[in-house]
Amino acid sequence: MKLHRNLVFATIDSLHEIFNEDKQADKVLRNTLKRDKRWGARDRSFIAETTYDIVRWKRLYAEIADVKAPFSRPNLFRLFTVWATLNGIKIPDWPQFEDTPTRRIKGRFDEAIKTRAIRESIPDWLDTLGEKELGKLWDKELAALNNQAEVILRANPLQTTVRELQNALSDLDIETITLKGYPYALQLKERANVFTSEAFQKGWFEVQDASSQRVAAVLDPQPGMRIVDACAGAGGKSLHIASLMENKGQVVSMDIYQNKLNELKRRARRNGIHNIETRLIDSTKVIKKMIGKADKVLIDAPCSGLGVLKRNPDTKWKMQPDFLEKIKETQRELLNSYSRMVKEGGQLVYATCSILPSENNKQVADFLSREEGADFTLVSEEKLLAHKTGFDGFYIALLQRK
């Protein structure tokens, strides 16, 4: 592979914003990729994948390059050199790459990988926590979460079938495979920009990980029900729920951020979905009005996001121990408050994209032992671990109200 100066510089600029200015990787890359209209799909792919790779392996590469944050521009080029050398890419004869110890990189790599936290590139406190919560499973899970995420689509049954979507994509030379146990899922054989396709514009599919698709399946929404998606965000799961309800009944999608609900409305229009009503949670009244009125409630709770490190590797560098404690308190409060919206005989699904028992089954057990959860019983729970499924880490609990 021959390195091109403008692509390498764009990657270095992106890393500077992510590491030194604490910006979110996906937002940084969105802006970077708009910089030059002449860049083709391969150029954009190089910038995005190289940037994510260096973010994912920051600690390991910094150890090998012998640099420390905040990273100066020469230091960022040293990190890039480590990435290139370990990937068998020849370093070009540019001034930025002078004095880079390419010969020492392999030896330093062999030494660095003896320590798990460095080898798997994760902060010490998070490594300790993962081992404490998951025991021997942590080694396998951590390694799995450092793999690049697969691109999974979810066909929209209101507009198409999985077979029809598969054929439409195949006509664009985008090959996919179906996934057993995931009736609406298609996995891309190779990464491709699916958002420019006519099928996407027509609302035939959304991009949604297979584990995330399990949430609506467990909720089992039926046409004519009233279902609340209490932490809807931009609405990936609301759209899935509405499509399974065949546009009949009502999905009340709630969130504390209006901009996310606006995005959900836009997506719903493209999907041909018109049974979603958005509600901004700007006071406790919004919840009080819904007490005892929902057939089913989904609490897709805010969490550490450790189950989705494959697609958001910068999370591990931005998270702090005190955030984890705060988020667990938020989960507790949401279970107490939002569970009240479930009518008698109705159901509640509590889900997170975390792999930590303290955010998952322990949080549910704790809720059931409290006065607020006295009316509920646990029907089922799924602990989806990345090393077992190959997809995102997720937790999904189904609770029944008496």
Active site residues: 353
**150 secondary structure, DSSP code:** P
- CA geometry: angle at 397 spanning 392 and 398, to 5°? 135
Residue 136 phi/psi, 5-degree rounding, is -65, -25
Rounded distance, CA 152 to CA 390, Å?
11
Question: Helices 41-56 and 58-65: crossing angle, nearest 10°?
Answer: 80
- Tell me which residue of 329, 324, 398 sits closest to 368, measured CA to CA: 398
* Cβ-Cβ contacts under 8 Å for 341 (sequence gap 6 or more): 228, 230, 287, 290, 291, 292, 293, 294, 297
Tokens 């590491």 belong to which residue? 19
- Region for 68 from its dihedrals, namely left if φ exceeds 0, alpha if ψ lies in -120 to 50, beta otherwise: beta
Asked whether 349 and 229 are in contact (CB, 8 A), the reply is no
HSE toward the beta carbon, residue 81, CA cutoff 13 A: 28
The structure tokens 């902060």 sit at 123
- Backbone phi and psi for residue 233, each to the nearest 5 degrees, phi listed first: 60, -135
Cα 237-243-248 angle, rounded to 5 deg? 120
CA gap 298, 241 in Å, rounded: 10
Which token pair is 39? Answer: 């860049």
Cα 291–chain centre separation: 30
Query: Which tokens in the block code for residue 177?
Result: 């495979």
Instruction: Output the six-digit token pair for 190.
Output: 């190779």
Residue position matching structure tokens 């799909």? 41
Spacing of C-alpha 360 from chain mean position: 17
Angle at 85 between CA 81 and CA 91, to 5 degrees: 60
